Amino acid sequence: MAVIKVPYTDINATMQGIRTQVVDSLNFCVNDMPQFNNPEQMFKALRNMTTYKNDPQSVELIQSVQTLFEENYWGIRGAGDCDCFTVLVLAMCCAHGWNNQQIILVGRSKLAPVHIWSRVKFRGKWYSMDLTNAYFNIERNYKFMQVLPV
């Protein structure tokens, strides 16, 4: 169980932190989180379990799934931001064997992403899993988008 809390430097450091937290979260997701039949069911349940909360000023806070739900940095079960929620979805999809995933980075400029979420391919179709959205499989429109395979 871990929290990565460091001064924000760049997207590369954030991506490494997300990778670390996904790996650290797998055991908890397999053993302690609910099971789902499809991405929409997972999205709806996880969406109801999470609350959006911005990172502290000038800090990149990336919580593992266990920390997000058991020893939350904010003291609010499920409170985090888009990178915490991306860790949650990536790890949960891996725990379900849904391993064909993508990370989506978006922003208003090419060099500074402002939002992140993931997609999962399930039964031949891609589904967006952005827990900051109220509805399943919705993507906000940004000027710049980068799709990274997981």
pLDDT value at 7 more than 80: no
Task: Identify the band that residue 1 occupies on the pLDDT scale cut at 50, 70 and 90.
Answer: low
56-110 pLDDT per residue, tens: 998 899 999 999 999 999 999 999 999 999 999 999 999 999 999 999 999 998 8
Instruction: Return the closest-CA partner of residue 61 out of 118, 13, 114, 123.
Output: 13
pLDDT value at 117 more than 90: yes
**Count: domains in the chain:** 1
Determine which helix (DSSP H) or strand (DSSP E) holds 83, and give its type and residue range.
helix 82-95
Instruction: Outline where DSSP puts E strands in the chain.
Output: 3-7, 51-52, 59-63, 79-80, 101-109, 112-122, 125-129, 144-149
Instruction: Outline where DSSP puts E strands in 37-90.
Output: 51-52, 59-63, 79-80
CATH code for the domain in which residue 88 is found: 3.10.620
Single-letter code of the amino acid located at 14:
T
Whole-structure pTM value = 0.94
Range of the domain at 37: 3-149
